[in-house]
Amino acid sequence: MTGQQSPGTTGEPSYDSRRQVVYWRLLARLFDHEEQAALESASLAVVEDIGLPPTLLDPQASVDSVVQRHPELAAEFDGLMVPEPEEDADGGRTAQEADADAPADARDRAAEVRRAALVSKVLLNVFHSPPGTVTAGQLSRWQSDAGWLERALGCGPGELRGGRAGGPGASPTGTGGGGRTPDLSRLIPEIGPELGSIEAGLVKRMRLREVLADPQLAGQLTPSMSLIEQLLRDKDNLSGVALANAKALIRRFVDEVAEVLRTQVEKSTVGALDRSVPPKRVFRNLDLDRTIWKNLTNWDPEEERLYVDRLFYRHTARRTTPQRLIVVVDQSGSMVDSMVNCTILASIFAGLPKVDVHLIAYDTQALDLTPWVHDPFETLLRTNLGGGTDGTVAMALAQPKIAEPRNTVVVWISDFYEWQTEPLFESMAAIHRSGAKFIPVGSVTSSGRASVNPWFRERFKDQGTPVLSGHIRKLVHELKTFLT
């Protein structure tokens, strides 16, 4: 199996046939629990023939372990599945069309087979989860492999699953990702939420309390949104070492997400220049170009000197009107991702100057979490996930906080499947009419998946406050626009 089959020869499988063997093995492994001996032996021959290690076919070997033994493969996994640019220099055709029309000799068919083998390894490790009870080591390995899949798609580990979002180019091993930024709309639809769903299933099949009670096993856990949800649900049943380990995992996750969100918030939280405030007459504010320009009439050609009789300084004061931000979060089970993200986001905005942040969580009862808004860790420990939703109880706490409507923004995060729909919507419409900025949010996750009550969605749209759904960056942008 060393050469490509020519049109007139037989015996040697073509590169297309080899690639098909690799993908047929992938499908067989994913959908058939019985090992197909013929496909396994044929795949092994293909992998060895193209110079890849046989461990690539070992379902028990993580991508991390393969890369540790063969470091040169790390660069090949980077951006492995990133779509090619839409247009090629050749007449605006897509890269795929140009590639399909290219002569066989112009295409690197051996590289295509090699890529198929690497893609097969990543997909099999992520989408073929272990049966039965899941150990901490298995969960950790899956999370690592999922990170490699995200890296292959050109994203940072965790970016597609939700929770902490590493920027493009991050890698599970810290060596940097692929350089291209992917067009996520061209990826497999809903891949992020599906990865989160697989991870949640693994967490549920893990004997979490036993793992948390063992510091060595607990140390193998990597905090993720699915794991944090399970910890928050079960925190009242934990004690001693297990509770301490659970709190440590939650704290790690909160700190990681906060670091990402803080960077997004700080990019443009400064207000506009306030020219009504005289500039400080210090050297660092001296506008040298303007000073020279304004004093050109004082130029003495005989002495070749410029006499300066007036200095000009730059304005540095920013316009910062005191603002009140009221965040109301539905803490029912379906909104856990939003609860975590918004709690952390509220704490970040609470740290900005002249921003007064209030946080309310509700299900069938409402809880004012404002005293702990600066500490998202303590806030999350006081939440109680699950139950129904009755937004009117939260509205009773939120409305008295609106003292100056023009300087107030109310962010309401929920799927809006409420018990009392009309009374709640009338109260929300009244807030909007008062002059306060009302932002209904269907989801603030890293994956962007949301389900919003169509009844509320249509009415919010009619009153000019459409439901904001999608990536948490959208909410960050909306809040920064209002607060600055």
Contact 98, 106 (CB under 8 A): no
Contacts for 399 with CB less than 8 Å, ≥ 6 apart: 427, 431
Extract the tokens encoding 225: 């949104």
In 153-206, which residue ranges form alpha helices assigned H by DSSP?
A: 191-204
DSSP letters along 384-424, please? ---S---HHHHHHHHGGG-SSGGGEEEEEES----SSHHHH
> Whose structure tokens read 């499947």?
417
In DSSP terms, 357 is beta-bridged to 325
Contacts for 470 with CB less than 8 Å, ≥ 6 apart: 443, 448, 450
Nearest-angstrom CA–CA distance, 156 and 167: 5
Nearest-angstrom CA–CA distance, 38 and 44: 10
DSSP letters along 136-170, please? HHHHHHHHHHHHHHHHHTT--TTTTTSSS-PPTT-
In order along its 484 residues, the chain shows pLDDT tens digits of 444 444 334 445 688 888 889 889 888 888 876 778 888 888 888 888 888 988 888 888 889 888 888 888 988 888 888 776 554 444 455 444 545 554 444 467 888 889 999 999 989 988 887 778 887 778 888 888 888 888 888 887 777 765 444 433 333 333 344 444 445 445 544 677 778 778 878 877 878 888 888 888 788 788 877 788 778 777 777 888 988 888 888 888 888 877 766 666 665 444 555 566 677 788 888 888 888 898 898 898 888 899 888 888 887 765 555 578 898 988 875 666 677 777 877 887 777 667 788 999 888 888 899 998 888 888 888 877 666 788 999 999 999 999 989 889 898 988 888 888 899 999 999 999 999 989 898 865 544 455 788 899 899 999 998 888 756 667 777 776 665 5
- In this structure, the strands spanning 305-306 and 299-300 are antiparallel
First-to-final CA distance of the chain = 65
Radius of gyration of the chain (CA): 29
Extract the tokens encoding 197: 């769903």
Residue 455: is it exposed, middle or buried by C-beta count within 10 angstroms (0-12/13-18/19+)? middle
DSSP letters along 423-450, please? HHHHHHHHHHHTT-EEEEES--BSS---
